[in-house]
Amino acid sequence: MVRGLDPDALVFTGGGHNSNNADVIAGWVRRSGVDAFSLHDYYKPAGSLSPRAGIFNQVAEMTGVPWYMGERGFSIPVNGGGSTDQEVNAANLRREYALYLGGDARTTRCYGMCYWDARFNQRESTTAYPPEMSGLWRAACDFRQPV
């Protein structure tokens, strides 16, 4: 539908795919015609790769379509395995950025990551917030992807 309105539009998914079978996901990516597909996965511990990252790398290799981490946060203790310490969460985020985005195309095909817990009015240890430049906010703002 989007390409019918604008053939040059970039089309990304919003929810990824919940299968662990690379062939199934690759078939879905090919049929959907997206320019990138997303992994939305909740896992512990914070600061590590999702167990499904390898599957998504495999699909990206099979299809030539990159993927991105569409949703990540460090909620305590439910899904994200976060800490009650801002600086620990900042170190976890830096580590995840390096794992997801710091490799080369031979090791990862992940080309983006959304850390969803950024707020302006709420002060929590898992929340990146300005203007005081919390540790998590600095981790999110200061990361530079290697070329």
CA dihedral 70, 109, 89, 83 (to 10 degrees): 70
CATH number of the CATH domain containing 92: 3.20.20.80
Q: Is 48 part of a structural domain of the chain?
A: yes
pTM assigned to the model? 0.78
Q: Is 44 part of a structural domain of the chain?
A: yes
- Residue 119 confidence (pLDDT) above 60: no
Contact (Cβ atoms closer than 8 angstroms) between residue 69 and residue 76:
no
Q: Is 147 part of a structural domain of the chain?
A: no
Band of residue 4 on the pLDDT scale cut at 50, 70, 90: confident
Q: Is 46 part of a structural domain of the chain?
A: yes
Higher pLDDT, 132 or 60: 60
- Domain enclosing residue 43, as ranges: 2-142
**Domain tally, the chain:** 1
Q: Is 8 part of a structural domain of the chain?
A: yes
Q: Is 74 part of a structural domain of the chain?
A: yes
Contact (Cβ atoms closer than 8 angstroms) between residue 35 and residue 64:
no
Q: Is 23 part of a structural domain of the chain?
A: yes
Q: Is 95 part of a structural domain of the chain?
A: yes
| Average pLDDT estimate for 82-86 | 79
The two three-digit tokens of residue 21, written as one number: 């079978």
pLDDT of the residue at 80:
62
Query: Which of 17, 15, 85, 83 is CA-nearest to residue 44?
Result: 83
